[in-house]
Amino acid sequence: MAANRLRRITATIVALLALAGASGPAALATSLRVEAPTRTVFHGRVTPFVGTLKGHTTTKRTALGALVTAARSTPFSLGLKWSDSFGGAWNGFFLSSVAGITPPNTAFWALKVNQKLSETGIGSTPVARHDKVLVYYTTFDPNTFATQPTLGLGASSRSPKAGSQVTFTVKAFDDAGVGTPVAGAWVWVNGAATRTDANGQVSVRLAAGRYHVHATSRGDIRSRWLWVHAS
């Protein structure tokens, strides 16, 4: 009986520790990617900063909070300016520069959450654990003000059997978050590039190993990196 009681107590402690871990900082981490014109500045998971920033306090987890955490941990510089002149949810901080890059009048630092252009300012855009946040340097159409499409990359399997084929799919997402297959995009697998077909797909046979994969296409914002492990 004593042994059964000990097992029950141990199981309870393990469950409580698991619950505590699930509610800790790691459980609040959000996926963030920062794309400059020629390189990826940051790609990883961060727990958004909450607190006082340059005299302004926030109690919510926002896209700006995620960017601040990434900038402090990597590190890279952030140029932040405060404005009350935009109105509504656009009041607050806006990005004047990232990693020392200040856009000209024909470009700016934009924000997407789950491939959709944010309708609020970066400091007013809430983010959650499952969101994919993208801060990217982009030009824009002078008539429609649309930003450059952002590439999305998917794989038929992230853990294929060695020697089997993996099909990669590339889509370009507009500001509304609508994805369209990209023909002729480059899919880079450990540095070796192959172009997609008319359906935005390319199949690659992978030997045993770990592969770093991303996609690029002229005029579009590069995709996130995928890790594929064939065994």
Q: What is the pLDDT of residues 10-36, one digit of tens each?
A: 333 333 333 333 334 555 799 999 999
Domain annotation covers residue 12: no
Domain annotation covers residue 144: no
Within this chain, do residues 183 and 87 fall inside the same structural domain, yes or no?
A: no
Q: Tell me: the pLDDT tens digits for 52-101?
A: 988 888 889 999 999 999 999 999 999 998 876 555 555 578 899 999 99
- Given 117, 139, 161, which residue is the final one in a domain? 139
What local confidence, expressed as pLDDT, does residue 7 receive?
43
Within this chain, do residues 36 and 113 fall inside the same structural domain, yes or no?
A: yes
Alpha carbon of 136 to those of 18, 19, 69, 120, 147: distances in Å? Answer: 36, 35, 17, 15, 10
Within this chain, do residues 39 and 87 fall inside the same structural domain, yes or no?
A: yes
Helix (H, G, I), strand (E, B) or coil at 35: strand
Domain annotation covers residue 17: no
Q: Tell me: the pLDDT tens digits for 96-133?
A: 999 999 999 999 999 999 999 999 989 989 999 999 99
| Rounded Cα gap, residues 194 and 216, in angstroms | 11
Within this chain, do residues 223 and 131 fall inside the same structural domain, yes or no?
A: no
Domain that holds residue 94: 28-139
| Rounded Cα gap, residues 223 and 179, in angstroms | 13
Within this chain, do residues 47 and 128 fall inside the same structural domain, yes or no?
A: yes
Burial level of 135, CB count in 10 A (0-12/13-18/19+)?
buried
